[in-house]
């Protein structure tokens, strides 16, 4: 095993720490619920600290891949060459930002799950296994291990929703799992097609990227394989019309799972389009990106329109996530630096914003046991801090300057207008719809006459305040201090093949 500059172990730790926490919890008696909570809180804090370190330590202007680690697993066999299959981990500017997102949301979700009583040990075991898979996917520089960690992140969702969820949880869990497995099958076919076409006997991603860029993987093959990768990963990114699992999954999931699901897991799909599409199959990307622009735009407008018709808080947020992931796909489809940079920034912005939304929904549902917007009114007088936190998330959702949503959407809109002006106009129309459904909810739920049925509701608990404060800090920092985020992401985006200035 080799390490780069003594920092490779930090990247490895982001995967090892949650797996170690899951192992410790296996041997922790289930009756010791407080011990389980403290172990998980400490694990979340460690992951947040590691993620902040990785983001801060990434050197803009340095090597493209930093903090490298490589451990050879299989090589020199009948069909694998010298590099074969290896646990190769590294950090680029995109994965550095997404690791920061994961750390913040993971810690906030761990604290939000403090109230779980039913089999909380089993919940946290699955929770940390899922997050180990997320980190592994973001850092994997080997195609085999990329897919391994991708599946490790997705599979625990079935039990996390089916056991600890609510509101048709079995249906939501089954639908989500079946659709995501269908997407994974397409990715798996694409992986073997790439391995066969490259014919270099390795799953090493930099070697395969070079094969795609120098023509070893023919342009025709790339055009055939790219839709497999894009649709396979796009299912997890709520690509229209393969998005239908997402609102049902959000509605059924427990609070922390909704936070991680919408905040982090959906970003794996968009990240996969970058890694396995733009970087691996650049000729295929150039050919198919106009189609992705169409589907992303439809998703953005459709999701916002559907959110405008909903009454359930989680369904509103679920369709809002479809809309915002449509923005991400639009940014990727521009194939220019500012658009793709905006797409990655939107991954982070939407991640922390929607995690905050689901945290607030969970805090209300735990007391009211309903999510019907029409049942509430005047909550600003009963739960003022809850209203402030939710309002901040909503303002970030609509792209108000000073919040992260503006930073991301500004880049996406500029990038889209450069290449597809008509679709840029449609994206702004979707943003106007987002303002409509958020302001409608503000007027209905926050203000107006107070429903006396909810006069005894309690405001946020200390742990919910801490979780929300971390997410709000992330929203505000990106909103007012763009440079650290744009510099890191742009450092990687400018080197993507086929991307224009």
Note down pLDDT in tens along the chain; length 501 residues. 444 445 778 899 999 999 999 999 999 988 888 999 999 999 999 999 999 999 999 988 777 888 888 888 877 776 777 778 889 999 999 999 999 999 999 999 999 888 888 888 999 999 999 999 999 999 999 999 999 999 999 889 888 888 887 777 788 788 888 888 888 999 999 999 998 888 888 888 999 999 888 888 889 999 999 999 999 999 988 888 888 877 777 777 788 888 888 889 889 999 999 999 999 999 999 999 999 999 999 999 999 998 888 888 888 888 888 899 999 999 999 999 999 999 999 999 999 999 999 999 888 888 888 888 888 878 888 888 989 999 999 889 888 888 998 889 999 999 999 999 999 999 999 988 888 888 888 888 888 777 777 777 888 889 999 999 999 999 999 999 988 999 999 888 998 888 887
The answer to whether residue 349 is domain-embedded is: yes
CA distance 274 to 98: 13
Q: Which domain holds residue 35?
A: 2-493
The answer as to whether 499 is a domain residue is no
Residue 6: its pLDDT value, please? 55
C-alpha torsion sign, points 425, 429, 434, 435: positive
Residue 440 lies in a domain: yes
Helix (H, G, I), strand (E, B) or coil at 3: strand
Query: What is the number of structural domains in the chain?
Result: 1
Nearest to 127 by CA among 254, 239, 222, 27: 254
Residue 500 lies in a domain: no
Global pTM?
0.92
Euclidean distance between CA atoms 288 and 44, whole angstroms: 39
Does a cis peptide bond (omega within 30 degrees of 0) precede residue 241? yes
C-alpha distances out from residue 59 to 63, 65, 92, 109, 488, Å: 8, 10, 9, 29, 8
Measure CA 50 to chain center: 18
By CB atoms closer than 10 A (0-12, 13-18, 19+), residue 453 is exposed
In-domain check, residue 72: yes
Classify residue 167: in a domain, yes or no.
yes
pLDDT attached to residue 2: 46
Tell me if 189 is assigned to some domain. Answer: yes
Structural domain contains residue 226: yes
């Amino acid at each position: 095993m080799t390490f780069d500059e003594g920092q490779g172990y930090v990247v490895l730790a982001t995967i090892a720490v949650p797996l170690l926490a899951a192992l410790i919890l296996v041997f922790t008696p289930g009756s010791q619920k407080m011990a389980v909570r403290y172990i998980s809180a400490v694990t979340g804090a460690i992951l947040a600290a590691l993620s902040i370190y990785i983001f801060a330590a990434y050197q803009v202007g340095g090597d493209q891949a930093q903090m490298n680690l490589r451990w050879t697993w299989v090589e020199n066999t009948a069909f694998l060459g010298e590099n074969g299959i290896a646990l190769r981990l590294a950090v680029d500017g995109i994965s550095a930002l997404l690791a920061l997102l994961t750390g913040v949301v993971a810690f906030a979700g761990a604290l939000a799950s403090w109230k779980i009583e039913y089999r909380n040990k089993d919940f946290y075991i699955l929770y940390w296994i899922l997050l180990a898979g997320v980190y592994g996917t973001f850092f994997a520089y080997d195609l085999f291990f990329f897919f391994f960690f991708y599946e490790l992140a997705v599979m625990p969702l079935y039990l996390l929703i089916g056991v600890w969820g609510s509101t048709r949880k079995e249906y939501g869990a089954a639908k989500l799992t079946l659709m995501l497995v269908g997407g994974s099958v397409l990715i798996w076919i694409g992986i073997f097609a790439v391995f066969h076409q490259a014919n270099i006997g390795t799953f090493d991603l930099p070697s395969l990227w070079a094969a795609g860029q120098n023509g070893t993987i023919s342009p025709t093959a790339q055009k055939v394989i790219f839709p497999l990768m894009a649709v396979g990963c796009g299912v997890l990114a709520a690509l229209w019309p393969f998005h239908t699992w997402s609102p049902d999954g959000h509605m059924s999931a427990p609070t922390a799972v909704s936070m991680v699901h919408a905040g982090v897991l959906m970003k794996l799909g968009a990240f996969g389009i970058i890694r396995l599409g733009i970087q691996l199959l650049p000729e295929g990307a150039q050919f198919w990106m106009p189609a992705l622009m169409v589907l992303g735009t439809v998703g953005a407008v459709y999701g916002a329109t559907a959110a405008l018709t909903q009454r359930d808080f989680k369904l509103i947020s679920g369709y809002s996530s479809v809309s915002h992931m449509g923005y991400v796909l639009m940014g990727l489809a521009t194939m220019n630096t500012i658009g793709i940079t905006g797409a990655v920034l939107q991954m982070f912005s939407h991640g922390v914003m929607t995690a905050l939304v689901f945290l607030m929904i969970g805090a209300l549902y735990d007391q009211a046991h309903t999510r019907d917007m029409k049942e509430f009114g005047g909550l600003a007088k009963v739960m003022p801090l809850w209203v402030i936190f939710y309002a901040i998330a909503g303002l970030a959702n609509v792209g108000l300057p000073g919040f992260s949503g503006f930073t991301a959407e500004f880049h996406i809109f500029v990038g889209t207008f450069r290449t597809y002006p008509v679709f840029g106009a449609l994206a702004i129309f979707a943003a106007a719809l987002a303002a409509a459904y958020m302001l409608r909810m503000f007027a209905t739920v926050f203000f107006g006459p107070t429903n006396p049925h909810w006069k005894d509701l309690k405001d946020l608990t200390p742990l919910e305040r801490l979780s929300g404060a971390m997410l709000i800090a992330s929203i505000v920092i990106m909103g007012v201090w763009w440079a650290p985020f744009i510099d890191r992401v742009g450092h990687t985006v400018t080197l993507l093949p086929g991307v224009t200035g």
